[in-house]
Amino acid sequence: MALPFEELDFGPPDYREMLPATLAKNYGQWKYHELLEPGVFKHVSKTGDEVYTIRTGAPKFIASSTIRQLCDIADKYCESSLRFTSRHSIDWIVPKKEDVDKLKEEVEGLGLPVGGTGDSMHSIVQCTGWVHCHTPATDSPGIAKAVCDELFEEFKADNLPSRLNIAVSGCLNMCGAVHCSDIALLGMHRVPPQVDDDLVKACEIPSLIAACPTYAIKPKMMKNPDGSITKSITINGEKCMYCGICYGLCPGLPLADAKNDGISIWVGGKVSNTRSGPAFSRLAIPFIPNNPPRWPETIAMVKKIVEAWKADARPHERMGEWIERIGWPAFFKKTGIDFTEKHIDDYIFNIRDMNVGTRVRGSDL
Ligand code: SF4
């Protein structure tokens, strides 16, 4: 006999068992909410209860001692609960109005800025980049920090046309959610993995060939002077999409290349369906060389895009909605970005696969 779903499910526990007391008491009864100031919301319930939500930025790599400090603050003011948002911010939910300023003072004392709500720059999302991963073309946390430092005032204020979501991903596998952000910084490889035959011969070659999503890897036999055969692989550079899967399986195929790796900038993506539907980010700048530790060229371009949008967008107009209204030629003109042949999307199944693109009369597609 089949077990009920509750007994089969071994995923995360039911969130309703973990709600802070005031949220559990008022579950399903919230009447309205308002933004009191940048970073501070007030929610009012039909029962007359109120809660105040203070949002702060948070470190992406966090020490256990810092987590203990955060928990002490949550114990003091937030009914022993706190919430990390999907953009790595922290929502502190405070039932007592008189505790709002006390909590703000304590979290700001720890260096956590209050903001990232409403029409502001929300926390920047990024992958781990060079720190942990073997596929990135750039240092995602390093760029995120440099961009955040430059646009920091936009996190704490509420004076952009709409929310601004920035994301950084070290490679096209997109752990940094760059496919749907207002501004997306994406690490770019431009050459396929370099094959080191001495290391590859120790790897499991059939698995390597089978793992490549574009069938770019083929077996290779090399005859040695003593007549024996060494097995390795070749990579068809035309087919390789620089995903790094093969390097994950075999250390003889390093993908990182200091000279050819860099960053591209994409714009206009969004997840929400408020006003207009969700949209993929589109290419704005195909390549900027890596320039650690502060990436000045990348930051200059991000600032240019933000300034043009801020000056020209209508109230509540997301980056992509602004571009759709003024048109891509105007976007390139207002931002001073060059339009190149790299901006022409020649993926012929775009319309079928992604439901995007433009049909031209007479097209075979
Ligand atoms: Fe294939 Fe990806 Fe390796 Fe290129 S990087 S050869 S696409 S597995």
| Amino acid letter, residue 216 | A
Please write the tens of the pLDDT for every residue from 193-236: 999 999 999 999 999 999 999 999 999 999 999 999 999 999 99
Which residue CA neighbors atom 3 of ligand 1 most closely?
Answer: 246
CATH of the domain at 201: 3.30.70.20
Task: Calculate how far, in angstroms, residue 266's C-alpha sits from the geometric centre of ligand 1.
Answer: 23
- The answer to whether residues 18 and 87 belong to one domain is yes
Q: Which residues contact 242 (CB under 8 A, 6 or more apart)?
A: 137, 171, 172, 188, 189, 190, 191, 192, 255
Shared domain for 140 and 99, answered yes or no, is no
pLDDT at 320 over 70: yes
Please, is 291 exposed, middle or buried when counting C-beta atoms within 10 Å of its C-beta (0-12, 13-18, 19+)?
Answer: middle
> Residue 243 falls within a domain, yes or no?
yes
Ligand 1 nearest atom to the CA of residue 215, by list position: 1
pLDDT of residue 354: 64
Local confidence band at 181 (pLDDT 50, 70, 90 cut-offs) = very high
For atom 8 of ligand 1, the residue with the nearest CA is 212
Let me know whether 297 and 165 are in one domain: yes
Ligand 1 centre distance from Cα of residue 133 (Å): 16
Last residue of a domain, one of 109, 139, 163: 109
Residues 16 and 87 in one domain: yes
Tell whether ligand 1 has an atom less than 6 A from the beta carbon of residue 212: yes
| Cα 181 to Cα 178: distance, rounded to the nearest angstrom | 6
- Same domain membership, residue 154 and residue 299: yes
What is the atom index within ligand 1 of the atom nearest the CA of 239?
7
User: Cβ(245) to ligand 1 under 6 A?
Assistant: yes
For residues 49 and 104, membership in a common domain is answered with: yes
**Pair (18, 104) in one structural domain:** yes
Q: Domain check: are 239 and 332 in the same one?
A: no
Residue 120 in domain: no
- CA 174 → CA 102, 129, 132, 135, 275, distances in Å? 39, 11, 15, 11, 26
**Pocket flag, ligand 1, residue 214 (CB < 6 Å):** yes
| 174 shares its domain with 296 | yes
Regarding whether 292 and 172 lie in a shared domain, the answer is: yes
In a domain, 240, yes or no: yes
| pLDDT tens readout for residues 266-282 | 999 999 998 888 999 99
pTM: 0.88
| Structural domain contains residue 115 | no
> Ligand 1 mean position to 87 CA, how many Å?
30
The Cα–Cα gap between 84 and 116 comes to 13
Return the pLDDT at 4: 75
Residue 276 lies in a domain: yes
Domain encompassing residue 158: 129-187+259-364
| The pLDDT of residue 353 | 67
Q: How high does pLDDT run on average in the chain? A: 91
pLDDT band at 17 (very low <50, low <70, confident <90, very high): confident
The rounded percent of the chain whose pLDDT value lies above 90 is 80
Last-in-domain residue among 44, 78, 109: 109
Task: Evaluate whether residue 172 is within a structural domain.
Answer: yes
DSSP-derived secondary structure letter, 171: S
| CA pair distance 330, 339, nearest whole angstrom | 11
Verify that 209 and 67 share a domain, yes or no. Answer: no
- What are residue 326's phi and psi, to 5 degrees? -85, -20
Number of domains in the chain: 3
Strand 90-94 to 125-126 pairing: unpaired
Same domain, 86 and 217: no
CATH label of the domain that carries residue 51: 3.30.70.3340
